[in-house]
Structure 1
Amino acid sequence: MQKRTFLVALSALTLLGGCGSKSAPADGSTLTVAATAVPHAEILEHVKPVLAKQGVTLDIRTFNDYVQPNVQVAEGRIAVNYFQTKPYLDTFNQARGTRLVTLAGIHVEPLGAYSRRWKTLATVPNGATVAIPNEGSNSGRALILLAKAGLIRLKNPADPLATPKDIIANPRRLQFKELEAATLPRVLDQVDLALINTNYALDAKLEPTRDALAIEDKDSPYVNYLVGLESARSDPKVAKLISALRSDDVKAFIAQHYKGAVIPAF
């Protein structure tokens, strides 16, 4: 996605607040974590009792956008967040001048192509309308998946920040709409194809391994990270959270609960 579009998106989304629960003021045992609802907040809820036994009270604050979780961590209002890939974080840092860092890779959410009108990509017609995320890394990620499926060709097939302007061959004359990632499940009935992040797909009761016409495989480089400021590396509460999130217990929970729609990255 072009930087101008990304900045416009950031400005608009900054007005959105979190939709998580209000909690008591943090004390020395409390660790605040910003997350999107599915699967991130669910995974955090799973490790909450484990951390409580270790003397850490996990305060999970759920957001419905990709901007405020970073803004609030960068401003020191929330300790860490858990929702994003490194390409998205790199784009955010560059656009905002923030210095957030990845702390630990936890899982991969394979991005998929969904349709309520067509049962296979082969039946998607000429001139079809395709909705893709408008965030930089997610836009490129969606186009790379379509290119791998043979629907388009890109100038650089591996460019994580590719935009529709980087398409050099579009034999079906697909018409692209760049929309906020969270809105894509809601427009699924209005377009021929939508490229949806798994967290939003699951939240919309889609089953990626069943419903996606194309989906990233287990080798996807788009790992979801726990993210914070550099100072978070030395916080013992963060260290305990990382240990809990990268445990065999969480690996088993992800496998059982998401059945391949979420894949552990450790």
Structure 2
Amino acid sequence: MKRLAWWLIGIAAIVGICVGLHEITSYSAHAQQSATITVGSMGSDYEVWQHIAKSQDAKKMGLTIKVKQITDGVQLNKATADGNVDVNAFQSWSYYQTYNQQNPKAKLAALGTTYLEPMGIYSKKYQSIDEIPDGATIAIADNPSQASRGLLLLQKAGLIKLAANFGVLGSVKDITSNPRHLKFKQIDDTTGPRIIKSVDAVLISNTVALEGHLHVLRDSIFHERLNKSTKDNVNILATAAKNEHRASYLKLVKLYHRADIQKYIKQKYYGTKINVNKPLSYFDN
């Protein structure tokens, strides 16, 4: 009986050890899976983050990154708010603010800055801003954040004046002075390069310009510069509001600004993605 009891105790111990090892293995696999950060992006940013995910810098920082492509900005922000995407990398500060204003129950939080992609004014008919004639037609994006950004650029170029309280949801209705009697044609902002010959000038974001084989620093007749007046156009990394202090997500900001990563981005995009490594307080008035 004693021998039988000891045999039973031994078998129970072995079973317990096996179960414990299985639980540890399952826990480790789950922990490894949960440590993977899903970064949602689109266009050239998708390519950038694919490179970052495979980089030695990511490995050195202990970050496992999966990159997911979602080609609609609103849907990408919604996926982030819902938790289907951990962090997104595609939007400017003004786009982010507009989204939060329009979606108060599903707000996002900014993690840090990445770059400024200058918006440009392009024309196949004129070589400079001064040549744009009276009554010219200017193509401008039909989405609020890009439209307001374009109007601010037109003001900077001296073509129009805007209301003093012009904000991220500003529109052509906020133009207070239009001395050249410019006409505005709203377009899908992804079509800018294709319609450039059919209008006098068109405002094109750099992501779209690159896809249309246009170089903002070389081909535009006027473009944004990095200064306080363009701070709202600086791109950011964003996450669901509840995750804004998550350490691994904040590491992505540092990862983006690593020297090797910046060297790749500069070479790949011909210097048109201007690195902006600033604290979030940079956006304060």
**1:186-197 equivalence runs, <5 A:** 186-197=194-205
Are 1:45 and 2:50 counterparts?
yes
Are 1:35 and 2:41 counterparts?
yes
1:18 counterpart residue number:
none
Are 1:151 and 2:159 counterparts?
yes
Match of 2:207 among 199, 213, 217: 199
Are 1:225 and 2:236 counterparts?
yes
**Structural RMSD (CA):** 2.1
1:242 counterpart residue number:
253
> What letter is aligned with 1:28?
S
> Contact conserved, 1:34 with 1:69, CA < 8 A, in 2?
yes
Structure ID, larger Rg: 2
* Matched position secondary structure for 1:27: helix
More helix by share: 2
Match of 2:87 among 66, 80, 93: 80
1:8 counterpart residue number:
none
Are 1:162 and 2:170 counterparts?
yes
* Structure 2 unmatched ranges of 5 or more: 1-31, 278-285
C-alpha change, 1:95 and 1:233, in structure 2 (3 Å) is: closer
Question: 2 CA distance for matches of 1:70 and 1:146?
Answer: 28
Question: 2 CA distance for matches of 1:161 and 1:206?
Answer: 27
> What letter is aligned with 2:260?
D
- Number of equivalences: 240
Question: 2 CA distance for matches of 1:175 and 1:77?
Answer: 42
2:145 counterpart residue number:
137
The offset of 1:115, in angstroms, is 1.5
> Contact conserved, 1:110 with 1:197, CA < 8 A, in 2?
yes
* Matched position secondary structure for 1:84: strand
> Contact conserved, 1:254 with 1:264, CA < 8 A, in 2?
no
Alignment identity in percent?
Answer: 33
> What letter is aligned with 1:34?
G
Question: 2 CA distance for matches of 1:87 and 1:137?
Answer: 6
2:110 counterpart residue number:
102
Are 1:93 and 2:104 counterparts?
no
> Contact conserved, 2:122 with 2:221, CA < 8 A, in 1?
yes
The offset of 1:30, in angstroms, is 2.2
Question: 1 CA distance for matches of 2:46 and 2:241?
Answer: 23
C-alpha change, 1:236 and 1:153, in structure 2 (3 Å) is: closer
* Matched position secondary structure for 2:180: coil
Question: 1 CA distance for matches of 2:120 and 2:175?
Answer: 19
* TM-score for both structures, normalised by structure 2: 0.77
1:129-169 deviation line (CA, Å, top 9, x unaligned):
21112232321211111111111121228644321111122
